[in-house]
Amino acid sequence: MGEALQNLPVLAQGWRDRDWNKLLCSVEEGIVIPIVGQDLLQVMPEGASSPISLYRFIAEQLVDEFSLPPDVSSPKMTLSDVVCCCLDDERDSFDIRHGILGVLNKAAFAPPEPLCHLAEIADFNLFVSTTFDSLMEKALEKVRFGGRTGTVEVCSYDPKEPHKNEEVSINKKYPAHPVLFHLMGKLSGGSDSVVISEEDMLEFVCALHSENRVPKSFSTNCKTIIC
């Protein structure tokens, strides 16, 4: 487990042996929750010579998909910027989400190595993702179940329907099986509650600060690793 942890690109510069020992003890006690973000999502498109951020790849593909002006695809443009350009071009948000889903399905990326290292840590059974893709789910399936699908419990937060929010208990040594919670929604054909732009992010963050929309049983005295 120690080797897998040290393979993760965490901000641990200057950590001493006792710092790592405290972290490892906390992981073994089941009070550490890894939070997975965009930085771990480095993928290798077909024919590419170097990895690229998944979100950057999606943004570039959407420019072609929706025939946006070439200058939209500048290196500084984010996925949120491209989504806003699509909306300004009177593209329906439903079409944009399906466009993103189509890009992901066509690319069919294998889970990046850092996610697989994270999945190797057996003491982690609850994972929180701030991204909308299924790469962490695929990593868990690959590492823990030999690639068998449908073996990971996947939940997602919905800011629009507080009464439908999944309850995720994070008591010590629970759950006994892998659970992946998408804090910013999960992209799917029928979902309209997912963060693909800064406006969506604002809606989710505001909802998470609303008393009646906080996911139940989700806040405890657990520690986190932000990856």
How many domains does the chain fold into? Answer: 2
Question: Do 143 and 211 fall within a single domain?
Answer: yes
Tokens matching residue 81:
């910027």
Query: Taking the model in full, what pTM does it have?
Result: 0.85
Tokens matching residue 46:
């077909």
- Cα separation values, 49 from 43, 44, 45, 149, Å: 11, 8, 9, 30
At residue 128, φ and ψ (nearest 5 deg) are -110, 125
Range of the domain at 64: 52-107
Over range 55-73, report the average pLDDT.
87
Considering the domain boundaries, does residue 47 fall inside one?
no
> Is residue 174 scored above 90 in pLDDT?
no
Each residue's pLDDT tens digit, 181-218: 999 999 998 888 999 999 999 999 998 888 777 766 55
Question: Do 188 and 85 fall within a single domain?
Answer: no
Tokens matching residue 26:
């906390």
Question: Do 179 and 137 fall within a single domain?
Answer: yes
Distance CA 55, CA 43 (A): 10
Lowest mean pLDDT among 1-15, 128-142, 204-218: 1-15
> Is residue 41 scored above 90 in pLDDT?
yes
Angle, CA of 55, 59 and 62, to the nearest 5°: 135
C-alpha neighbours within 13 Å on the C-beta side of residue 88: 9
Question: Do 144 and 202 fall within a single domain?
Answer: yes
